[in-house]
Amino acid sequence: MKGNPQVAIVGASGAVGVEMIHTLERRSFPVEQLRLLASSRSAGKELSFKGKRLVVEELTQESFKGVDIALFSAGGGISKTYAPMAVEAGAVVVDNSSAFRMDPQVPLVVPEINPQDAKQHQGIIANPNCTTAITLMALYPLHQAFGVQRVLASTYQAVSGTGAQAILELEDQVRRLGNGQEIKPEVYPHQIAFNVLPHVDSFLESGYTREEMKLENEGQKIMHHPSFKASVTCVRVPVYRAHSIAISASFERPVDLQRAREVLAAAPGLEVVDDPANQQYPLPLNASGRDACQVGRLRHDCALDNGLCFWVSGDQLLKGAALNAVQIAELLI
């Protein structure tokens, strides 16, 4: 790629798309020209980038002429339709949907873990699921040190993972309930304010949801670890932003706690917050708006051989989506 790239963001007006714009700006990504693309409903809106107001254009099959890198965050259907068009026009696509993640021809990349895989792309690079990315930021360094075999995990996923309308629904429900008014859930099947829903994504015949299988499937691919196993329960919680995951992991080799802390402290993109005696541990509120994920509550698992329990929090819109995509784009240049 010669010179500064021309970049397009597909789904620019959505929550992740807006974060992509901000992330490109604050990381000083060398953009020659930024093109903002979205559906006809959002066309004509103006968004700020480097002090300028850019107009959102309607996404069409002609949108990718001259584009070098296209960041997609508009859903799997849009990606399946338009990503091949972008590649045909000469762009490299970084896709945030689930459309291509398990395609054996498409690299699935977390830059702190498997940056070399990005070099094997054939025009499309996939961004992992948000919970997978945040979990692996802590799990992978431990895997390198001790050899992870399997994990049992419960997630605590913020409403931002569903999108901007879910954030508005939580805000509206809190306000209405505070005023003694009735509510009518629309985004979620049940009230989300002051509640938790053990239901993220659609259910499979196995009883797991599609979201719950992503950590195992995507983790195997990202870590190049085909025997990795994960049993996960995904839960939506009334938090605006940042996901958290409680993890019990078993390893091939005995886990030394001091060594585990040293490994995690040295890992890029990860901050150890682990002083329970002084009430210091990762919180989604503290992880919100931060590039680094946080890990803490480290302790030997009393039920698993060679087991370690820990808690991770990370910003779903950043490391779980926009930041990871921009980091992949940085690998390309």
Q: What is the pLDDT of residue 3?
A: 79
Token digits of residue 229:
């196993």
Cα three-residue angle 318-320-323, rounded to 5 degrees: 40
121 in Cβ contact with 103 (< 8 Å): no
56 in Cβ contact with 86 (< 8 Å): no
Of 17, 331, 307, 290, which Cα lies nearest the Cα of 137?
A: 290
Q: Give catalytic status of residue 130 as yes or no.
A: yes
Give residue limits of the domains in the chain. 6-128+321-332, 132-316
Task: Indicate the pTM of the whole model.
Answer: 0.95
Strand stretches in 40-121, DSSP E? 46-49, 52-55, 57-58, 69-72, 92-95
Q: 22, 121, 130, 234: which one is catalytic?
A: 130
Q: 22, 121, 143, 243: which one is catalytic?
A: 243
Q: Which CATH superfamily is domain 6-128+321-332 in?
A: NAD(P)-binding Rossmann-like Domain (3.40.50.720)
Amino acid at 212: E
Mean pLDDT by 10 residues, the chain (333 residues): 88 93 97 95 93 95 96 96 97 97 98 97 97 98 98 97 91 97 96 98 97 98 98 98 97 97 98 97 97 98 96 96 98 94
Beta partners for 312?
Answer: 245, 295
Beta partners for 155?
Answer: 234, 245
Q: Which CATH superfamily is domain 132-316 in?
A: Dihydrodipicolinate Reductase; domain 2 (3.30.360.10)
Token digits of residue 3:
């010179």
Q: What is the pLDDT of residue 166?
A: 93
Cα(328)–Cα(262) distance, integer angstroms: 27
